[in-house]
Every structure is written in structure tokens, then in C-alpha cells.
Structure 1
Amino acid sequence: MAMAHDELLGYLREGFPDAEIILTDLAGDNNHWQAEIVSEQFIGKTRVAQHQLVYAALKGTMDGADGQLHALALKTRAPK
């Protein structure tokens, strides 16, 4: 299954209301996304912890055979 830009952005905005978010559809199929997220929630957190927060915000949409989102490349950081 694929996930439309606005749906993915909705999950990320809900999880990171303060964030700057840039989404790029890497293959033009709504199924291979890159998300660049800059959020104060990432301050003091490791890259792994940052990515765990992103996956939690997606509420299981990448899990298992029923996952709506096939691939998500992440670039996360705290604001400078």
C-alpha cells in the first residue's frame, strides 16, 4: 500500500507540531519517502532515539504486512 503526502505529513505534524518537515517522494509512487525533520524534541537525543520518536509518531503504519508505508529514509536533527 502507498501513503499520500498529506497523510504522512499529518502523522508527522501531529507528532512534531514545532518541526520543520520536508517530505520527498523518492520514487514518485507514494511508497518510498524521505523525511527531513528538524525539531526541538530531538535536543539531547541520539540519532536512534530521534528515529524511534518518528516511528512512534507514525502509529504502526510501517509495521507488518498491513503497513501503509513501505520505505522511509530519515534525516533528523535538533535546531541549531
Structure 2
Amino acid sequence: MSARTDTEAAMTQATSGITPDSLSTTLKDKLGASHVNIQDLSGGCGQMFEAIIVSPQFTKKTTLARHRLVNGALKEEIATIHAWTPKCFTPEEWEKKKGA
């Protein structure tokens, strides 16, 4: 990254206030998520996240419907970041995945 890009990235993180912890808290509050694991893939600038989200609200919902729930819960946050990749599971699906 160039110095200009590094500076811009630091400014974006400082002004947006978006962190893995803030995203996790919002998802737990709004979706009743029992497990949230968010990785900042941007090197700390708060612009690229990947998430594992486990919520009973995903039961009987398609992948698209699950993503819409998550995106709705994080509408303001998603508007300020560059990339967002959620992986959504019901508690039952998550238990099976962990056991595999």
C-alpha cells in the first residue's frame, strides 16, 4: 500500500468507528445471535470483513433471506465499508459444522 492509501485507511477507521467488536455487538442485539466471529481482512483499516453469524432467526430461511436480515441489521455500517462477507448458520447447522 502507498503512504496515501495507508493514511486514508487510518482516517476511515478512525472516523467510521467500525470494528469487529462493534459489528458483533450490533448483530447480537438485533438478530439475537448466539455466536458471532468477525475477521477484519483489511489489515485493520475497517474496510473488509468476513463474518460467521449463528442465529435462530435464520431457521427456515434461504441464504439470500439470511443475508438480507444481516444486511438490514447492519445497514449503516455496511454503507461505510468496502467488503462484507457473512456466513449465516442456524444453531443446529453450526453445531453440525463444528462437529464435522
Specify the SS of the correspondent of 2:27.
helix
Structure 1 or 2, whichever has the larger Rg, is 2
Shift in Å, 1:79: 1.7
Paired with 2:72 and 2:33, the residues of 1 have a C-alpha distance of: 16
Q: Which runs of 4+ in 1 moved over 6 A?
A: none
More strand as a share of residues: 1
Instruction: Name structure 1 gaps, 5 residues minimum.
Output: none
Partner of 2:41: 26
Q: Identical aligned pairs, as a percentage? A: 33
More helix as a share of residues: 2
Instruction: Name structure 2 gaps, 5 residues minimum.
Output: 1-11, 93-100
1:35 to 51, 66, 71: 51
TM-score, normalising length: structure 1: 0.81
TM-score, normalising length: structure 2: 0.67
Higher relative contact order (CA 8 A, sep 6+): 1
Partner of 1:68: 80
